[in-house]
Amino acid sequence: MRVTAMLRKFLVVSLGVFASTALADETISVYQLDGSIHCQVTEVTTPVQAADTLKRAGVKVISSTSRSVPFGVSSACGTPTGKASLLVVDAGDWNNFLGKYPDAPGFGIWVFDRPVVEVYKYDGSLQCDRGKEISLADMARELTENGIKVKAKRKGSDGRMHITMCGASTGRLNVFSIPASALPEARKLGFELLVTRKMTSEVAIPSPNRRAPALSRTPRDPRAPAGRGAIPKLW
């Protein structure tokens, strides 16, 4: 399925950068998607099983719990649910693990527990001035009027190659920094979590044969309804 294939492309990074990150901290949080699929009964990997996998590889696991990736994923039948096992592990052991298993089979760094996150919406602009651009101030007001504090705002781009045609998307975004605790409310307003290449430089490459797919780098179609089929954006 095309959506599932897209989801497998998310965890693609430089392990050299990642390894130096691991050495800098005593512990590090890693995760593994549990293999659950919408509308299907599948074999699910529990946090205990995920922890056992790392323990057998010589990685000390401090804690394990269930979480869901904190951004929109498709709810279509046959696509991953986004549920995952979140593990806190010894950073030195993790670095050794990467030395033995460079693809870190099925695991990646959990980069989402940050006090401040960036969210975005397309600004409505279209080529040849066919659209109506929504200013940063006007879109920020949508957040503040719903009780969400805007710490910073900026213009952005989705980094995609857009066809040169009147009425086509410009790819321009309005990007806002908000408290991570406000992310669920922002999503209700149609905003999506911004995931950048800098963030994913802390994520390990998955095994191509791993049953549980990873998440996509393909940007969400600006014409799609908010909260459905949303994919994190990278540039």
- What is the per-residue pLDDT for 26? 84
Per DSSP, the residues of 91-107 read HHHHHHHHHH-TT-TT-
Cβ atoms of 39 and 96 within 8 Å: the answer is no
Name the H helices within the chain. Answer: 2-7, 15-24, 47-56, 91-100, 136-144, 183-188, 197-200
Q: 3-state class of 108 per DSSP?
A: strand
pLDDT at residue number 72: 57
Residue-wise burial string across 36-74, b where 16 or more C-beta atoms lie within 10 A, e elsewhere: bbeeeeeebbebeebbebbeeeebebeebeebebbbbbb
CATH code of the domain made up of 2-111: 3.30.70
What's the pTM?
A: 0.53
User: How far is 27 from 50, CA to CA, in rounded Å?
Assistant: 17
pLDDT in tens, 175-200: 999 998 888 899 899 998 887 666 55
Q: Distance between terminal CA atoms of the chain?
A: 25
- Which uninterrupted H or E stretch holds 61? strand 61-68
For the chain, give every domain's residue range. 2-111, 116-188
**pLDDT for the residue 229:** 32
| Sheet with 61-68: strands ordered across | 61-68, 83-90, 27-33, 108-109
Q: Which residues pair with 64 in a beta bridge?
A: 87
Which residues, given as ranges, of the chain have pLDDT below 70?
1-25, 70-74, 196-235
Look at residue 73 in the predicted model and tell me its pLDDT: 64
